[in-house]
Structure 1
Amino acid sequence: MDLVKSLFALAAGIGMFAATASAKDLQVGFVYVSPIGDAGWSYAHDVGRQEIDKMDGVKTSYVESVAEGPDSERVILNMARRGYDLIFATSFGYMDPMLKVARQFPDTTFMHCSGFKSADNMGNYFGRMYQARYLSGIVAGSMTKSNTIGYVAAFPIPEVIRGINAFALGVQSVNPDATVRVVWSKTWYDPATEKEAAKSLLDFGADVIAQHQDSPGPQEAAQESGAYSIGYNTDMSAFAPKAHLTAPVWNWGPYYKGVVKAVQDGTWKSESVWPGMEEGLVDLAPFGPMVPQDLQDKVNAVKDEIVAGSKTIFTGPIKDQQGNVKIAEGVTATDEELLGMTWFVEGVIGTTK
């Protein structure tokens, strides 16, 4: 009888070991366009990755500084071949390469950031950063003395154009005499190029510099010239403490944890999602000490309206650079119109090319 009990115990032990051995951590991969040490876009995503890496049954890894185009396809394909369960591609130019790989690996879940294409096993996601851009525009428009605000921009794609427009609308809401002058760097991460672009705007008389890139280069240029700066992606105030007014910032952790949980419990489905300030995905960095308290209070009051849904950014009348009404009075632009925005609002100086 004792022998029988022993055999049953041994069998149970073997079964438990087998179950443990067969349990597989969810393998999650991230592809970044710039180094995580950029303190910007890729760094913000990597902070989110680190949060899901702490979840039970999850193992993550990443590849940084991956160029958009064929190189990104190679990296994504390699992850899929190695059996990754979930892959996040975090740059606009990764969209078509990811879609191509997704069609070859129907059992893998793919998520693309900032794009618009999808498949049964590939979703896309982004955040309504234009909300925080608008708030930062209120700060810039209130702090400028020259009424010339510089904007160092990455690439002329709808995401960047939409952000510039929202920023300009924020500026104009408090200072209709101010203009926003745009220079394209055609880079996501090139500190030297982005710093030089900012200098060209400062030479033109800008006394506030905003940006849509990953490096603190534009903010460093502003500080060196005694001007102010609006950062992006994360709180980069340490790089330019005398210039940094605030920054539109990302908080990817909660969203990434939700996606991973959905994949784990089998409830994930392909969709396009675009959460905003009301869900905490986007926000403003702390204000610099040079920002007056009454201005801080004003910005926070508008933020509360955005979170409550009583304030929308792209509600007309809104005109383009040529004075044509693009969004009629009382009309709010649809998400489709915002995602395809290719024109500048009145008060922006520069081209969309």
Structure 2
Amino acid sequence: MQTLKKLFAIFLIISGFLIITGCNNYVGTGQIQNVGMLVEGSIDDQAWGQKGYKGLQEIEKKFDVNVFYKEGIKTQQEVTEAVDEFVNNGVNLIFGHSSIYGKYFINISKSFPDVQFVYFNGGYHAENVTSLNFNSHAMGFFGGMVAGKMSDTNHIGIIAAYEWQPEIEGFYEGVMYENPEAQVHIDYVKDWSDQDTALKMYERMEDQDVDVFYPTGDSYSGNVIKRARKDGLYAIGYVSDQSYIDKETVLTSTVQHVDKLYTLAAEKFNEDELEGDILVFDFQDDVISLGEFSPVVPEDYQEKIEDIIKEYKKTALLPNE
């Protein structure tokens, strides 16, 4: 009887050790438990926010985990409260769907050492904070080439959100490379979603004979394209392939496949390969591309752009370099 008791005790000790070891191994290898996302604006903006939510849904399917999101999170206090709530729901991978989250995540990262924070297009990083950056200059360049080719008035307009957006300079360079006679009009909304301001800028540019528009914002890009369609003008889509709005109006789109990058980051985290760093992605990584071409863009010019992009993938050099 004493022997049986000893064997049973040993069994309990071994069982308990396996359970504890298993749990520690689960956390230590960085395997995903649950996933959260913070959005500065809305997931219904038809552009950046929507692509982030799609990426979150892909993670949910691929890894069979619970996912959570919160919209309109813009301050440090809101971020801290949201992260605390996520963690209480078993979240150990959190995406901040904007550059603003870099500093906020840095400020709280040491308080949540078991959480991996990921955000977009910023220069902050720490042991458990990773920045995923799109090299947007090239996509802007190729979109600018198409705009320069297709403008009849030689007046092209950029309705930008902020001055720091790399795609703006790239777009300007692409226009001038393709059409040195063109004039590029640029104005800044200073907000990702201010549709009223963006449309006022559109009207001013239309009065200046602009016939191709590049609205580089979230919620307002679709509205500008719809207005261009109504006025018989053209646009270059932004972040999403916006040809669905109107196949003729949208000459092409500069597409950032944010959803693919979400899945890639989740895979790296799950394999314990996502270290705090600043990572940069471009056409070569298949997370940036041009969207569908409008049928009004000549086929031989479409082929020219596609060939230039293939060469860029090989050399990482734009045609003006």
- TM-score w.r.t. the length of structure 2 is 0.85
CA separation of 1:311/1:206 partners in 2, compared to 1, >3 Å: closer, same or farther?
same
Residues 249, 282 of structure 1: 8 Å contact kept: yes
Letter matched to residue 30 of structure 1: M
Aligned to 2:225: 219
Partner of 2:270: 264
Asked if the contact 2:52/2:262 (under 8 Å) is kept, the reply is no
Counterpart residue identity of residue 315, structure 2: G
Equivalent in the alignment of 1:309: 315
CA deviation profile, 1:274-306 (whole Å, cap 9, x unmatched): 010011011111011211111111111111111
Match of residue 228, structure 1, among 224, 234, 248: 234
**2:172 is aligned with 1:168:** yes
Q: Structure 1: how far apart are the matches of 2:184 and 2:218?
A: 20
What's 1:63 paired with? 70
Mapping of residues 96-135 of structure 1, within 5 Å: 96-135=103-142
Taking structure 1 as reference, are residues 223 and 57 closer, same or farther at Cα in structure 2, changes over 3 Å only?
A: closer
How far apart, in 2, do the equivalents of 1:69 and 1:145 lie?
A: 47
Greater helix content: 2
Q: Which residue of structure 1 aligns with residue 283 of structure 2?
A: 277
Task: Summarize the Cα distance change of 1:61–1:104 in structure 2 as closer, same or farther, 3 Å threshold.
Answer: same
Contact 1:118–1:270, Cα closer than 8 Å, also in 2: yes
List alignment gaps of at least 5 residues for structure 2. Answer: none
Matching residue of 1:146: 153
CA distance 1:56–1:72, shift in 2 (3 Å): closer
Q: Distance in 2 between matches of 1:127 and 1:105?
A: 26
Among residues 51, 57, 69, which one is paired with 1:50 in the alignment?
Answer: 57
Shifted more, 87-96 versus 274-283: the winner is: 87-96
Which range moves more in the overlay, 270-279 or 29-38?
Answer: 29-38
Bigger mean CA offset, 90-99 vs 50-59: 50-59
For residues 66 and 203 of structure 1, the distance between their equivalents in structure 2, rounded to whole angstroms, comes to: 37
- For 2:206, the equivalent position in structure 1 comes to 202
Given that 2:161 and 2:217 are in contact with CA atoms closer than 8 Å, whether structure 1 keeps it comes out as yes
Q: In 1, distance between residues paired with 2:126 and 2:99? A: 16
> Separation in 1 of the partners of 2:77 and 2:243?
35
The answer for the alignment partner of 2:190 in structure 1 is: 186
- Tell me, in whole angstroms, the C-alpha distance in 2 between the residues paired with 1:238 and 1:267: 37
The 3-state SS of whatever aligns with 1:254 is helix
Could you say which residue in structure 2 is the equivalent of 1:252? 258
Q: CA deviation at 1:58?
A: 2.9
Change (3 A) 1:87 1:314: farther
What letter is aligned with 1:35?
S
Secondary structure in 2 matching 1:222: helix
Q: Percent identity?
A: 25
- Is the contact made by 1:148 and 1:179 (CA closer than 8 Å) also made in structure 2? yes
Look up the match of 1:331.
Answer: none
User: Which residue does 2:98 correspond to in 1?
Assistant: 91
Superposed CA RMSD: 2.7
Question: Measured at CA, do residues 254 and 244 of structure 1 come closer, stay the same or move farther in structure 2, by a change above 3 Å?
Answer: closer
Output the CA distance in 2 between the equivalents of 1:28 and 1:314. Answer: 42
* Structure 1 equivalent of residue 45 of structure 2: 38
Inter-partner Cα distance in structure 2 for 1:218 and 1:276: 26
State the alpha-carbon separation in 1 of the partners of residues 205 and 75 from structure 2. Answer: 28
SS of 2:303's equivalent?
Answer: helix
Deviations, residues 217-241 of structure 1 (Å, cap 9, x unaligned):
2112211221100110101223244
Post-superposition offset of 1:74: 3.6
The SS at the match of 1:34 is coil
In structure 1, the gaps of 5 or more residues are: 316-353
Name the count of aligned residue pairs. 301
Whole-Å separation in 2 of the counterparts to 1:133 and 1:304 = 16
Match of 1:137 in 2: 144
Conserved? CA contact 1:69–1:93, under 8 Å? no
Write the distance in 2 (CA, Å) between the matches of 1:181 and 1:280.
30
Cα deviation, 1:232-281, whole Å, max 9, x if unaligned, reads 01012232444111111121333322322232232321111001001101
* 1:44-96 Cα distance to aligned partner (Å, 9 max, x none): 12222221111235332211233355434443343345442011101122222
1:292 alignment partner in structure 2: 298
One-letter amino acid matched to 2:178: V
Distance 1:57 1:224, change over 3 A: closer
In structure 2, relative to structure 1, the CA distance for the partners of 1:84 and 1:259 (3 Å cut) is same
TM-score, L = length of structure 1:
0.78
